[in-house]
Amino acid sequence: MKKTDKNVAQLTDDEILEGFRNADEHIVKEYFYGYCRVAYCIYDRRYDLQYKPGMDFYSLAHEYYLALIKHDFRQLEDRKPSMSLKTWMVNGFRFLVLDKLKGLKKERLMESLEERMGNTRLKFDVHDDEFAEDFRGTIDEICRTYYGRDSRNSIILQMLFVEGFKGKEIAAQLGISQPAVTERYNRMMHDVVVPYFKRYFVTNKYGLPTRYEKFMEDECSYSMARPSVGANRDFIFRDMDKKRKGRVTPEWIDDLQENQVFVFGSNLAGMHGGGAARIARLRFGAVMGNGVGMQGRSYAIPTMQGGTETIRPYVNDFIAYAKEHSELTFLVTPIGCGIAGFEPEDIAPLFENACNVENIWLPESFWEVLI
């Protein structure tokens, strides 16, 4: 029986272990990833894990989970009675870290968020108090318009550009890995911030925004009035609503109509033991040992091998496959948002190119992020 959100924080070690074995998403997110984050913070300070390839939080946590589930979490059950589950898991995480470090022949520092920002073509170095105030106001406008004031993306932009925090500090305060902050930053810069400035403001030869002048179509034309942000956003909403209409994956699927395909999150080992993967195996032909692609009336997208950057290629392959098989309708479940530990705002942007593919349906939580 699944525990409710209200009492999930009050479980005994035995109840937590039962939740792990039953692949209870709430318990796994609260306790497994919670304990792993404690361990990661401890050993990151000691070994600088975030700067080593393949040792970001999700890569290690996913490997740890798959190692435990392979033996049905028996290692946890066999621990000494005097040792708490949290203590055992933190120590177990340490052994995983040491094994990974031992196998790492050549260490190299991962490019930090600050270095990535330094290499960005469009830099935002502000030397003028008046311009700085205008600039901060524009960042605030972008946050309110595109992300909502309290979203994680808005918080990251505000902390970076307005409050002056560094990437590592943001990651620590938000409880996510620095590579996750970097990925969100890169995505926002590419998708929203840079196009916004290039569209609405004059830039100099270095690509830096100058004073807030309207773009001119050419020297002889009159200045173009900047379109209302609200009106522009309303247009985007109407367009996305039109695309979404009739293409929302049902919250619960226990049967498929003819030509429908169940799309679920998997792992590369093809251990379909819990969540949507278990349903795919029991009902829709998913094959144990096969973690990628079409199988029976289901399609597997791996989500348990690291951060979202490791998921993107498989999502792209899926979208390409769906385009080639227009006779099928693909019902995408909230992949990655259960046992894999991600949130819809992390995964949904990977499916942006699926919005225009008529035979791909997305869960409501993904549409909400994409809109």
User: Would the pLDDT of 228 be above 60?
Assistant: no
Are 189 and 157 within 8 A, CB to CB?
A: no
Distance CA 60, CA 68 (A): 12
Is pLDDT of 330 > 90? yes
Amino acid letter at 125? D
Nearest CA-CA partner of 196 in 156, 140, 112:
140
Distance (Å, whole) CA 177 – CA 174: 9
The predicted-structure confidence for 123-169, as pLDDT tens digits, reads as follows 444 445 555 666 777 888 888 888 776 677 888 888 888 777 788 77
pLDDT in tens, 282-295: 999 999 999 999 99
Binning pLDDT at 50, 70 and 90, where does residue 179 land?
A: confident
Grade residue 238 by pLDDT with cuts at 50, 70 and 90.
low
More reliable by pLDDT, 108 or 363: 363
pLDDT cut 90: percent of the chain above it: 44
Mean of per-residue pLDDT scores for the chain: 79
CA-based nearest residue to 343, from 33, 3, 9, 6: 33
Indicate if the pLDDT at residue 315 is higher than 70: yes
What crossing angle do the helices spanning 33-47 and 85-103 adopt, rounded to 10°?
50
The one-letter code for the residue type at 99 is D
- Give the other-Cβ count within 10 Å of 218's Cβ: 5
pTM of the predicted protein model: 0.63
Rounded Cα distance, 15 and 174, in Å: 28
User: Token pair 């590579």 is at which residue?
Assistant: 179
